[in-house]
């Protein structure tokens, strides 16, 4: 019987160094963009007194949510006993840590000065969901690090199920906390609902798995290692389930809001006459991020095509980014309802839809965070044995 063997990829090839240098340059551009905004002030960004959370926060939340979902592959193996996913667990944990690191690297800009991170990590106001998230994020690094140790050290593998269960519960709490950042803000009509927490959890499953599939297939293609159809098809069907579940929760979220009269105005704004937000919702989030990927996954003409699967994953990421943009920026763009049932207007833009146009610096910072994530994964798979040397069907099907 063929046995499963892990090994680091060859870091001496020119294409590996080209990838490493390319990601490093993008990450450096992101760092320089953050520095430029810190020196010149947020006035050079698209953010203002009305839209205080912009594209950096969209990228940060996107990566943080994806980090939770990326760990799902490892959880399926250790927590739910699906041994065919066990060879994928190490890369799953590495990608989860890298995604969270990339997201937090972008989020540090929101502190005004990076050194204020020390204050955020040492002074807590437990009435604030932000304080809870500091603990959840740092705890995620530690727990997933121990989980990775249990998977990679044969002497510790007997504890992997227990640690994996703890990591699974922790990441559900983490994503709940991230969604609750917005769900607890009752002043914003688009945020004021407990549905955001479960919707963020399901969104993390889809986005994280899409990230994982792209990274896994790219890693094996670049290292010229075989990947069988068995594991690819399992991941394909799992992604389809998660996409459908996200669309279900989005529908429940909007139906719930439509049931409450106080939310009719914001629902009309988001779904009918919200301009760019309405277009992003129907054309990018729903059509490109949901319906088209499902068609690519399940249509007879494309369901066995790996390029179609990669295209579906890319569209899921695009739709997920649009989804988070609508939640964060769209929720702030809709005017605050200061006095329910009354029209409000003043020189401070009360009662007006708030305008926001992302700046180049914000976009560069966001892509820099993604580059940091991919850079960590690229270095990790070349240093330690995160990848099985083969994921051929005969090896995956016999894995104990």
List per-residue pLDDT tens for the chain, 400 residues long.
Answer: 456 788 888 888 888 999 999 999 999 999 999 888 888 887 888 888 888 888 999 999 999 999 999 999 999 888 887 888 888 999 999 999 999 999 999 988 766 666 777 776 777 777 777 778 888 898 999 999 999 999 988 888 888 889 999 999 999 999 988 888 887 776 677 777 778 888 999 999 999 999 999 999 999 988 888 888 889 999 999 999 999 999 999 999 889 888 877 778 888 888 998 889 999 999 999 999 999 999 999 999 998 899 999 999 999 999 999 999 999 998 888 877 655 556 666 656 666 777 889 999 999 999 999 999 999 999 999 998 998 888 887 777 765 4
What pLDDT score does 1 carry? 40
Q: Is 275 left (phi over 0), alpha (psi -120 to 50) or beta?
A: left
What pLDDT score does 376 carry? 96
CA distances from 256 to 106, 140, 267 (A): 32, 32, 10
219 SS3 class: helix
Give, for 387, the enclosing helix (H) or strand (E). Answer: strand 387-388
What pLDDT score does 312 carry? 96
Would you give the end-to-end CA distance of the chain in angstroms? 12
- Which among 215, 253, 243, 232 is positioned nearest to 316, based on CA atoms? 243
Domain count along the chain: 1
Q: For tokens 């106080």, what's the residue?
A: 262
Taking the C-alpha atoms of residue 373 and residue 376, their distance in angstroms, rounded to an integer, is: 5
- Which among 86, 322, 306, 91 is positioned nearest to 209, based on CA atoms? 91
Q: What is the pTM of this model?
A: 0.92
What pLDDT score does 129 carry? 74
Which residue range is the domain that position 333 belongs to?
Answer: 8-396
Residue 2 lies in a domain: no
- Which among 334, 329, 243 is positioned nearest to 286, based on CA atoms? 243
What pLDDT score does 313 carry? 97
Please give the full DSSP string across 92-133, using - where no structure is assigned: HHHHHHHHHHHHHHHHGGGGSSGGGHHHHHH---TTSHHHHH
Residue 1 lies in a domain: no
> Residue 108 CA to chain centroid, in angstroms?
17
Q: For tokens 């996107």, what's the residue?
A: 62
Please report, for the domain that includes residue 335, its CATH number.
1.20.1630.10
Residue 94 lies in a domain: yes
CA distances from 353 to 212, 265, 350 (A): 37, 12, 9
Residues 6+ apart with CB under 8 A from 71: 92, 93, 96, 144, 167, 168, 171, 208
Burial of 1 (0-12, 13-18, 19+ CB in 10 A): exposed
What pLDDT score does 110 carry? 67
Residue 3 lies in a domain: no
Taking the C-alpha atoms of residue 52 and residue 36, their distance in angstroms, rounded to an integer, is: 18
What pLDDT score does 274 carry? 82
- b/e string for 357-377 if b means 16 or more Cβ within 10 A? ebbebbbbbbbbbbbbbbbbb
| Six token digits for residue 162 | 């227990």
Residues 6+ apart with CB under 8 A from 142: none
Pairing of strands 6-7, 387-388: antiparallel
């Amino acid at each position: 019987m063929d046995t499963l063997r892990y090994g680091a990829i060859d870091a001496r090839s020119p294409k590996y160094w080209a990838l490493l240098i390319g990601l490093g340059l993008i990450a450096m551009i992101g760092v320089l963009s953050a520095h430029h905004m810190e020196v010149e002030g947020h006035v050079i960004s698209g953010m203002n007194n009305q839209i205080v959370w912009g594209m950096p926060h969209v990228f940060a939340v996107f990566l943080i949510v994806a980090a939770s979902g990326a760990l799902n592959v490892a959880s399926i193996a250790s927590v739910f006993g699906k041994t065919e996913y066990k060879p994928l667990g190490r890369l799953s944990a590495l990608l989860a840590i890298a995604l969270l690191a990339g997201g937090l690297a972008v989020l540090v800009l929101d502190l005004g000065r990076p050194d204020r991170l020390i204050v955020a990590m040492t002074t807590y106001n437990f009435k604030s969901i932000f304080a809870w998230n500091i603990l959840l994020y740092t705890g995620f690094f530690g727990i997933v690090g121990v989980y990775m140790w249990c998977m990679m050290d044969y002497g510790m593998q007997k504890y992997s199920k227990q640690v994996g269960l703890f990591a699974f519960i922790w990441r559900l709490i983490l994503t709940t906390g991230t969604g609750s950042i917005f769900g607890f803000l009752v002043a914003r009509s688009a945020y004021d609902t407990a549905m955001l927490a479960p919707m963020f959890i399901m969104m993390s499953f889809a986005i994280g798995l899409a990230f994982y599939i792209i990274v896994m297939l790219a890693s094996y293609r670049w290292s010229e290692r075989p990947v069988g159809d068995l594991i690819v098809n399992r991941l394909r069907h799992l992604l389809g389930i998660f996409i459908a579940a996200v669309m279900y929760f989005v529908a429940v979220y909007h139906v719930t809001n439509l049931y409450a009269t106080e939310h009719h105005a914001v629902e009309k704004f988001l779904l009918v006459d919200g301009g760019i937000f309405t277009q992003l919702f129907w054309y990018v989030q729903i059509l490109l991020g949901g319906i088209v990927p499902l068609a690519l996954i399940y249509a007879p003409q494309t369901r066995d095509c790996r390029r179609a699967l990669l295209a579906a994953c890319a569209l899921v990421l695009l739709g997920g980014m649009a989804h988070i943009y609508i939640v964060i920026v769209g929720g702030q763009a809709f005017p605050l309802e200061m006095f329910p049932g009354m029209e409000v207007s003043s020189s401070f833009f009360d009662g007006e839809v708030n305008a926001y146009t992302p700046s180049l610096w914000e976009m560069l910072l966001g892509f820099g965070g993604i580059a940091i994530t991919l850079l960590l994964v690229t270095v990790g798979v070349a240093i330690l044995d995160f990848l099985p040397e083969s994921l051929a069907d005969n090896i995956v099907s016999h894995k104990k």
